[in-house]
Amino acid sequence: MNFQTVSQTRTDVQATNLFLRGVYNWMSLGLGLTAVVAYAVATTPAIAQAIFANPIIFWGLIIAQFGLVLAISGAVHRMSAFTATGLFLLYSALNGATLSSILMVYTAASIFKAFIVCTGMFAAMSVYGATTKKDLTGWGSFLFMGLIGIIIASIVNIFMASSALDFVISGIGVLIFTGLTAYDTQKLKVMGESAPMDDTVAVRRGTILGALTLYLDFINLFLFLLRFFGSSRN
């Protein structure tokens, strides 16, 4: 390997690391914004009452969040970097408003425990996804099928109200989003390797899309873990 090849390889690695650093920075900012908004809503009875006592507002927020995820995922490449960033932060804030309910339902100690476990699992699987030589592409269809399965099972359990089924759903959910963290991280690493680093707008769009992907993995992993560690305030 000559000097030029070594230099090019080093540049590619640096570009990939820069891309992934941007993804994790924006994901962390989104999580931080979610936490701040959740705390603000949970500690402001008037706002919490307005959201959770009014089905129109609550479901309006849920639909808006779903629409924002679809918009960012499907149209990010047609957006300006400013618009993509703004929509991601808006989604993080709205998600915080609806997730504030967990602060009112679970004890602070159990939320903290679930967060610490989630952070450790997420970090471990993210590192694995970024460093493993194994191609994780084959995980995609399996994990997607599992995700569809727990969505259907969750809907069924709304009517069954089975604690045993809820436990199984939670366990499978943890496994699925643990796997998705590694799978998505590897996808983002590949994306970073081919990112046009001279096109700052395209790179920002890519980092925002990546941040949203990992943000969703983290939030869902946390929520399923909370169903194991969560202790009700009542």
Q: What percent of the chain has pLDDT over 70?
A: 93
Look at residue 195 in the predicted model and tell me its pLDDT: 74
**Helix, strand, coil abundance in the chain, percent, nearest 5:** 90, 0, 10
Tell me the pLDDT of the chain averaged across its residues: 89
Closest Cα partner for 102 from 59, 165, 52? 52
- Does pLDDT of 163 surpass 70? yes
User: First CA to last CA across the chain, in angstroms?
Assistant: 66
Output the pLDDT for position 200.
81
Question: Cα–Cα distance between 102 and 99 in angstroms, integer?
Answer: 6
Among left, alpha and beta (phi > 0; psi -120 to 50; other), residue 145 is: alpha
| Mean pLDDT of all residues in 128-133 | 93
Tens digits of per-residue pLDDT, 44-87?
Answer: 999 999 999 999 999 999 999 999 999 999 999 899 999 999 99
Predicted TM-score (pTM) of the model is: 0.90
- Taking a C-beta distance cutoff of 8 angstroms, is the pair 41, 97 a contact? yes
- The model's confidence at residue 3, banded by pLDDT at 50, 70 and 90, is very low
Assign 234 a pLDDT band (cuts: 50, 70, 90).
Answer: low
- What was the pLDDT predicted at 231? 67
Residue 8, pLDDT > 50, answer no
Contact 23, 185 (CB under 8 A): no
Q: Is the pLDDT of residue 138 over 60?
A: yes
